[in-house]
Amino acid sequence: MIIVLKPGSTQADIDYIEEKLNDKGLRVHISKGEERTIIGAIGDERILREASLAAYPAVEKVLPILKPFKLASRDFQKENSVIDVQGLTLGGKEVRVMAGPCSVEDREGLLTVARAAKAAGASFLRGGAFKPRSSPYAFQGLGEEGLVYLSEARDETGLLIVTELMDPRDAELVYRYADIIQIGARNMSNFTLLKEVGKFDKPILLKRGLSATVKELLMSAEYILDQGNRNVILCERGVRTFETETRNTLDLSAVPLVKSMSHLPIVVDPSHAVGRSDLVAPMSLAAVAAGADGLIIEIHQNPEEALCDGPQSLRLSEFADLMKRLGAVIQVMGREL
């Protein structure tokens, strides 16, 4: 149930309604917009119906939940969510670029990539430290050693760190090093993990599952939001289709679709979407033109020797070229880097 308060409602009105809802055993989420306040009441729908909320003087209207997600929806919050990552905003006017290797492989390589990413204009360094792969015999990531290298690269370049958490048992460790905690496509429906990161006070980058609908992505976001963490960034990274020339199919319509359904920011990962480095630049440009709030791109100092996802990784010079071309699209979209 979404309760829209009349313009000019006071804090006392909000407190009063919150108290009444709490008395009935309902949980409350409050969203204060520029014009009006909206209260999301969560709990047993039967109690909600009986609560005759529309009778309260400060209430303008009461809307039943039409969607299986609430806190993530545009109905709940009209304004875009602008996420603060250590003072850097995501979801505002700027388009943020995250770049780095699929996985952290060694200290020198990571520092080389980080310096190049910074010089080209990226704001974030991506890199996985935990990398369970399709084969249990493939490189599995450096674990904490990889996180230490990431934080060294952050200290030197000022790039903020995006890295994936896969296992709730590593939650504290990853939390300590990451600026944005990534939830991978294969874990989009790992609700235990989503609830765990919902308790964090750091932003979460939630990737769309391999065969997930946009609605399912938003329901997964809802798990995190409902635990109290409002800092969720969605990520379109391609979905499985019948096409075999590309690794996945980049669903760019998801960008404006998410924007119409939700207030959360969305970034695009063209690398995992296409799986081929030659298609990464055109899809990056198209993603920004579609309204993406950012990009997350795999780059490597020597893609031929990458331990993971080399064929889709841009060379450092290719990334620098892309960043130059991106500037024009960013400008046309009325945004900034």
Q: Which residues bind Mn ion (CB under 5 A)?
A: 102, 309
Residue 155 corresponds to which tokens in the numbers above? 């200290």
How many amino acids of this chain bind ligand PEP (CB under 6 A)?
Answer: 10
Indicate whether 128 belongs to the interface with ligand PEP (CB under 6 A): yes
- Compute the distance between CA of residue 72 and CA of residue 219 in angstroms, rounded to an integer: 8
Q: Which is nearer to Mn ion, 72 or 162 (CB)?
A: 162
According to the binding rule CB under 6 A, does residue 29 interact with ligand PEP?
no
Residue with smaller CB distance to Mn ion, 215 or 240: 240
d(C-alpha 98, C-alpha 124), whole Å: 4
Orientation angle between helical segments 316-332 and 107-120, nearest 10 degrees: 30
Q: What are the φ/ψ torsions at residue 257 (nearest 5 degrees)?
A: -65, -50
CB 100 within 8 A of CB 314: no
**CB closer to Mn ion, 100 vs 198:** 100
Closer to Mn ion by CB, 102 or 194: give it. 102
In the bound complex, what is the minimum distance in angstroms from residue 333's beta carbon to ligand PEP? Answer: 24
Helix (H) / strand (E) element for 218: namely: helix 214-226
* CA dist., res. 83 & res. 55, Å (int): 35
- 184 makes contact with ligand PEP (CB under 6 A): yes
- Residue number with CB closer to ligand PEP (230 or 247): 247
CA distance 222 to 244: 32
Question: CA–CA separation, 240 vs 249, rounded Å?
Answer: 6
For ligand PEP, which residue of 70, 154, 237, 247 counts as binding (CB under 6 A)? 237
Q: Which residues, numbered 249-308, are part of the site for ligand PEP (CB under 6 A)?
A: 269, 272
Q: Does 247 bind ligand PEP (CB under 6 A)?
A: no
Q: Among 116-124, 180-188, 217-225, 275-283, which window interacts with ligand PEP (CB under 6 A)?
A: 180-188
Half-sphere exposure of residue 243: CA atoms within 13 angstroms, side-chain side: 14
> d(Cα 7, Cα 287) in Å, to the nearest integer?
37
Give the whole-angstrom CA distance, residue 1 versus residue 20: 14
Which does residue 299 touch among Mn ion, ligand PEP, none (CB within 5 to 8 A, set by kind)? none
Q: Which residues ranging from 99 to 118 are in contact with ligand PEP (CB under 6 A)? A: 102
Question: Which among Mn ion, ligand PEP, none contacts residue 226 (Cβ within 5 to 8 A by kind)?
Answer: none
The least CB distance from residue 43 to ligand PEP, in Å, is 33
Residue 274, classified by CB atoms within 10 Å of its CB into exposed (0-12), middle (13-18) or buried (19+), is buried
Residue 219 touches which member of ligand PEP, Mn ion, none, C-beta under 5-8 Å by kind:
none
**Alpha helices, DSSP H only, in 227-305?**
254-261, 270-274, 277-289
Residue 326 C-beta: closest distance to ligand PEP, Å: 20
Give the one residue of 147, 185, 239, 281 binding ligand PEP; rule: CB under 6 A.
185
Contact footprint for ligand PEP (CB under 6 A): 102, 128, 164, 184-186, 207, 237, 269, 272
